A and B are shown apart, each in its own frame.
Chain A
């Protein structure tokens, strides 16, 4: 069935509403194509909406405009060379993509990650979560007409990217998380700057609340729009802030702790009815929780190695190459072929900024994965989008896309 046939079939199933239209209006359905190039779709998402007047009766999201074949490319690369490729899937959650993939490979290898590496991972993951939510906040507020919010949130994003650049040398797609740990220890002065940022961030988050939550226009546009109850969200497999906004306290950091998340004291923000306002509030509250986690992780940062001492997996330190023949051999084997992973399958889910981000890896005993698949939360969450916007106004559709926070790089991969 072609795309248009499928759409026509869906469109025919939509019936006009029972109540008669008001005077001067015609009673007919209109098909409106939004995207793939539309500034409010947060990427190259295409939405085919069937409208009756201003009411959205049905919507069909069409994806695939940034399909990059990342999963297929990953099958052709050695395990540690897959990391930069999977990082580019959900391009606002690069630490999370790398973490999910490395976690799956570590499960297959059965290696222990040193505690310092786990804490360093947590610090960077939470900084990344703040960064991702900042981009969401800026662009969403822009869609809702609060243009100046973009400048404020991108100012703080630059501060986070400075920290990333300090620890890894890159702003985006840092490839900091490595199989067995992290690629490098944090530089001197990094901890102080992160602490300073956390203090700053709490203050800034207060300011965002002052700017937005006192804003009548924003509240009117968010309250009671795009409402879906939790049973339907659970049935559709929705996770992350969208599910928590409907009142389900489901967070993999608490439900299934990984990378020492059980060492930290933090709360899971939940909403009540699951409308756009709750989604906004839940993500906003996560700014505070993430800063709390980062502060605790810096406070209790253990001493020790930052990557596993297993030389079969991790590169030997540079200075050993000049003195140790064995280190040279390990280095040569790792760089040319990579490490081999015993046959098996692993699924490693973590809590990304948008929900459950899981990586499935099947190993066949060679140095390249037989299959890499990501369960990307944006893709699953998009399934709930038609139920969110059906029966609402077309203007609320824009607000709902903004609060859905889809990242098309993650959806299409």
Chain B
């Protein structure tokens, strides 16, 4: 029962750091010099940093100057949403308070949900939640209607590129077109999508007819989801866009993000980004095939299991499978699979590690009982058929036992 996981299928939480990224990062840790220093040591550090920025920019269809390194994906999301919010308030032609609306789909990551909630509570933002369809895709017609209702009063639109829990790929191109046409800036949280789907800022801006500082202007990504180190992310910020910084200080990175830059982490990030980008298509195809094998296997083993998200393989992240097991607690399944040596996720957990019914499934109109039985299985670049088969071998017994344990809220045989 105390066996530790040997099969890792929670790559959406974090994925193992690549060996080439570890090697490059540890070598860079030995380099002395602050990239802001003028002497030769500083210049050497700066060279490594900027080479890394160029490599990351190339994987995102952006210019190097448009890549702002942050301390995490969460920081990138906060910087985009709050920074754009304050900048849009300061420049509103109608004056303060004339541009209070933030349009955001339900089922977003907490980095977004809690940030817009903070802006609502502290800064007077009017947060309008856009509905999801039953597959977890934002209702584009609802967005169009919200923009039609007075686009001048919208501060920004923010959304996921692909949902981190159920893997549904969002209609980013359509949303970008609508935002561009309405003259509203759009931020996209691509943390779950990066390394699995092609992301190209300039191409998408051109295709959607974005004008200066409007349409798609910002994309958030994180290194540790693609085999880079934890502790570095990036906000890709179109050169035409301005935002208010969250951190004030030395004025590094376009004065958008002050703080001494982490050269070694940037090097590790860049090596991982370049390696993943070079094989993006073939790796995505390989992962999709593994995922489809996994989904078919779950359906064969547990016919009652319900796949969440898009059943069309093209509509979901190549590495994502997400099921609800009726009559089970997700945390029972997680425990039993963990004991059998397979690491998976229930999708979301709060700070204390308490499993909560998935807010994503709730936003998709599912019942709380359905949401309680959720299990997310996510593949990474190193995942193999053996990993999938080990999960499928452990699942039936775990499901049988978890069904017996049932739902925590029900009456028990010990009740009197």
B is a partner of A? no
Q: Which residues of A contact B (CB under 8 A)?
A: none
Q: Which residues of B contact A (CB under 8 A)?
A: none
